[in-house]
Chains A and B, each alone.
Chain A
Amino acid sequence: KAGVTQTPRYLIKTRGQQVTLSCSPISGHRSVSWYQQTPGQGLQFLFEYFSETQRNKGNFPGRFSGRQFSNSRSEMNVSTLELGDSALYLCASSPGGRQRQETQYFGPGTRLLVL
């Protein structure tokens, strides 16, 4: 099976702009989670989607949003970008049926630089 794919891999934006990142999960996986990785804060959970519904949300401002499509592909959007949004954004997928026991498989990430 193909792994989790994320596009684009690298992105440079300026403050105030908005950005959309895309994630395609492993075939058959219905749960997609997003994480932000920064040197200062480490890995932090953004949100999780399952069957097109947000199932869980982390402690991030409303500028961060996401959605999931019927084919389980997911997008996350960050509006009004701030310098502190510069990070590696990681997407992870899992089958979704038994969340606590399931392994999440991560994509290569999208590295966002906000200038």
Chain B
Amino acid sequence: AQSVAQPEDQVKVAEGNPLTVKCTYSVSGNPYLFWYVQYPNRGLQFLLKYITGDNLVKGSYGFEAEFNKSQTSFHLKKPSALVSDSALYFCAVRGSSNTGKLIFGQGTTLQVKP
């Protein structure tokens, strides 16, 4: 069965410092991985996805993610955090077979301090 784990409930960083939000996955077959961000009282906004190709994926708002097949990880990164990056981040994997279903991790709250 496909699954996603986000081992940290909360990540705190200072503004201007690099940030990492961790995600590990378990899939059968090729992984299709996604990152979304959710601001309070809002829906999910798409950041980036890994389908195939380069292990470093670049996305919106300066975010990038590194796909590591041997470690089954897909960590979200940003070189310099902004206070406005403070939000809830979700990693997701596409369900098996021919389906649109996304399986989400539990989410990681990112707090960027001024």
Question: Would B98 and A42 count as touching, CB distance under 8 A?
Answer: no
**Known: A103-B46, A108-B43. Is A42-B101 also a contact (CB below 8 A)?**
no
B43 x A96 contact (CB < 8 A): no
Tell me, yes or no, whether A64 is within 8 Å of chain B by CB.
no
A interface with B by C-beta (< 8 Å): 4, 6, 31, 33, 35, 42-45, 48, 50, 55-56, 58, 90, 92, 94, 96, 99-109, 111
What is the interface size of chain B, counting residues whose CB is below 8 A from a CB of the partner?
Answer: 25
Q: Is B57 an interface residue when CB atoms closer than 8 A count as contact?
A: no
Roughly how many angstroms separate A42 CA and B90 CA in the complex, as a whole number?
10
Cβ of B44 < 8 Å from any Cβ of A? Answer: yes
B26 nearest CB across to chain A (Å): 16
Number of A-B residue pairs at CB separation under 8 A: 69
Query: Given A105-B46, A107-B43, A109-B43, are A96 and B100 also a contact pair (CB < 8 Å)?
Result: yes
B104 at interface, CB cutoff 8 A? yes
Out of B36, B101, B104, which one reaches A56, CB within 8 Å? B101
Contact B100 A55 (CB under 8 A): yes
List the 4 closest A-B pairs by CB distance, nearest first: A43-B104, A106-B43, A106-B44, A99-B100
Chain A residue at minimum C-beta to C-beta distance from B44? A106
A94 to B45, CA, bound (A): 13
Asked whether any CB of chain A lies closer than 8 Å to the CB of B28, the reply is no
Contact A33 B101 (CB under 8 A): yes
Which residues of chain B are near A31, meaning CB under 8 Å? 100
Q: Report yes or no: B49 in contact with A42, Cβ–Cβ below 8 A.
A: no
A residues less than 8 Å from B105 (CB atoms): 42
